[in-house]
Structure 1
Amino acid sequence: MALMTPQFQARRSPLEGARPGRAARRAALPRPATVLTGAGLALLPWMVVLAKTLPQAAEVSHWSTAWIGLDAMLAAGLTGTGVLLRRCDPRVVPVAAATAALLLVDAWFDVTTSAGTGGQGMALLLAAGAELPLAALCAAVAARRTG
């Protein structure tokens, strides 16, 4: 009988004895947090490879298309955030969060790709005076609406 006391009983998994179904299949899949953490950590050695192998300068095809596309996404994000915010629409949260991220990316690439050129001053001015403040505003909208 001593082996039957609670402290000696084998611990059972919550899924043990459950009929196989959605819960069992879901438990077999990796959790999103694990996948995302693993993907982020996997990028660290890849960044070292890129730092050692990418050229300092490169000729880029469709440069204007890439920048116009990014600006089009920014225009849609800023306009969408404003319209949804004005309507008190809860869908403003993901739109504002995505727009904040796009603004940060735009500022980063404007400043880094202009380094050592005559356009670097303008890129820094736009980053400090427009892109980063707008990113902070969008992030604040997203954070305020989620809480």
Structure 2
Amino acid sequence: MASTRLTGVLSLRLVRVDAGSGPGVPRILPKATPASTFPMLLRRAATVLTVLGLAMIPWLVFLHNGLPATAQALRWAWTWTGLDGFEALGLLCTGLLLRRGDRRACLTSAATAALLLVDAWFDTMTAAPGSDFRLAVLMAVFAELPLAGACTVLAIWAFPRPGR
């Protein structure tokens, strides 16, 4: 008796669902992918990403030892305004997608969590000693990190799964 083995790899596709939050609201639903080159491409992508991650270790050592302790930025205000603007956009998009019941909120929520973590890190690492540093730590502990945690939980909760 011959048996065949099917791979359980899932891909995501957008489909239109006319029930729920209104007609024509796009939803992300799982669709089984037949055994093809897709699993091979995933394995190759995983290998490339792993190698690139490992290759960055010497680069990080070089940066840490080679960069000056201080630097002057010409567009300092634009840098911080842009980062906080992207955070606001991420929160807004996540809220609007959740209001519509759109599972793509997991994507915007995950991206927003990453931005909030970056903001907390750079706020504390670039703050001047004294009251600026204390304010950066307070903002990180009581605003940015808890919000990043909430966005992470939301991204996990909203991630589409079969049968849900």
Within 5 Å, which residues of 2 pair with 1:1-147? 23=37, 31-146=44-159, 147=161
Unaligned runs of 5+ in 1: 1-21
Kindly indicate which of the two structures has a greater share of residues assigned to strand: 2
Q: Distance in 2 between matches of 1:37 and 1:100?
A: 23
Question: Aligned residues, how many?
Answer: 124
Kindly indicate which of the two structures has a greater share of residues assigned to helix: 1
Q: Distance in 1 between matches of 2:128 and 2:44?
A: 41
Unaligned runs of 5+ in 2: 1-35
Instruction: Identify which of structures 1 and 2 has the higher relative contact order when contacts are C-alpha pairs closer than 8 Å and 6+ apart.
Output: 2
Task: Kindly state the Cα deviation for residue 120 of structure 1 after the two structures are TM-superposed.
Answer: 0.6
Normalising by structure 2, we get a TM-score of 0.70
Task: Kindly state the Cα deviation for residue 118 of structure 1 after the two structures are TM-superposed.
Answer: 2.9
Q: Percent identity?
A: 48
Q: Distance in 2 between matches of 1:29 and 1:137?
A: 29
Normalising by structure 1, we get a TM-score of 0.77
Q: Distance in 1 between matches of 2:114 and 2:150?
A: 11
Higher-Rg structure is: 1
Q: Distance in 1 between matches of 2:41 and 2:157?
A: 36
Deviations 1:48-73 (Å, cap 9, x if unpaired)? Answer: 11111100011111111111110110
Task: Kindly state the Cα deviation for residue 74 of structure 1 after the two structures are TM-superposed.
Answer: 0.4
Q: Measured at CA, do residues 106 and 27 of structure 1 come closer, stay the same or move farther in structure 2, by a change above 3 Å?
A: same
